[in-house]
């Protein structure tokens, strides 16, 4: 995953995140019970934070490419797909087996942040 691909994924994730946030606020508000709407919004929130993290990784990789930054970006992207994606699926379908996928995405987020910390530590 190169800086261009990281930035492209971040941009596309941003588009999806804004669209899903608007969909939740305007289209799902009357369709979902409050608990599932909160689940959906948690997915949007975590996607937003990690889209920004991906953007930072893409810029960092452009200035000073390191494997740790690339791994961080890869794990952030996987986390968005697994964590936020499973929450979206759970909220929209009510199918409970999407729930156990969510922690895998959370683990990906944590690994991504650890990889980013390692990149920062090594850059000094």
DSSP 25: I
What are the tokens at 61? 């990789």
CB distance 72 to 116 below 8 Å: yes
List, for residues 80-89, the tens digit of each pLDDT value. 999 999 999 9
Whole-number pLDDT of residue 1: 62
Rg (CA), the chain: 15
CA distance 68 to 101: 25
Whole-number pLDDT of residue 82: 98
Average confidence (pLDDT) over 62-71: 94
Residue 103 CA, distance from chain mean position = 13
Whole-number pLDDT of residue 60: 96
List, for residues 101-118, the tens digit of each pLDDT value. 999 999 999 999 999 999
Whole-number pLDDT of residue 78: 98
Whole-number pLDDT of residue 123: 87
- Kindly indicate the confidence band of residue 75, based on its pLDDT and cuts at 50, 70 and 90: very high
Angle, helices 34-63/85-93, rounded to nearest 10 degrees? 160
List, for residues 6-48, the tens digit of each pLDDT value. 999 999 999 999 999 999 999 998 899 999 999 999 999 999 9
- Kindly indicate the confidence band of residue 79, based on its pLDDT and cuts at 50, 70 and 90: very high
Residue 27 CA, distance from chain mean position = 22
Residue 30 has φ and ψ, to the nearest 5°, of -95, -5
């Amino acid at each position: 995953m190169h800086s261009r691909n990281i930035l492209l994924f971040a941009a596309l994730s941003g588009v999806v995140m804004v669209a899903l946030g608007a969909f939740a606020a305007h289209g799902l508000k009357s369709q979902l019970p409050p608990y599932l709407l909160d689940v959906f919004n948690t997915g949007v929130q975590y996607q937003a934070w990690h889209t920004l993290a991906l953007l930072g990784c893409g810029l960092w990789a452009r200035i000073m490419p390191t494997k740790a930054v690339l791994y961080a970006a890869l794990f952030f992207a996987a986390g968005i797909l697994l964590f936020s994606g499973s929450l979206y699926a759970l909220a929209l379908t009510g199918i409970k087996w999407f729930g156990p996928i969510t922690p895998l995405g959370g683990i990906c987020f944590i690994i991504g942040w650890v990889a980013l910390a390692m990149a920062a530590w090594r850059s000094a």
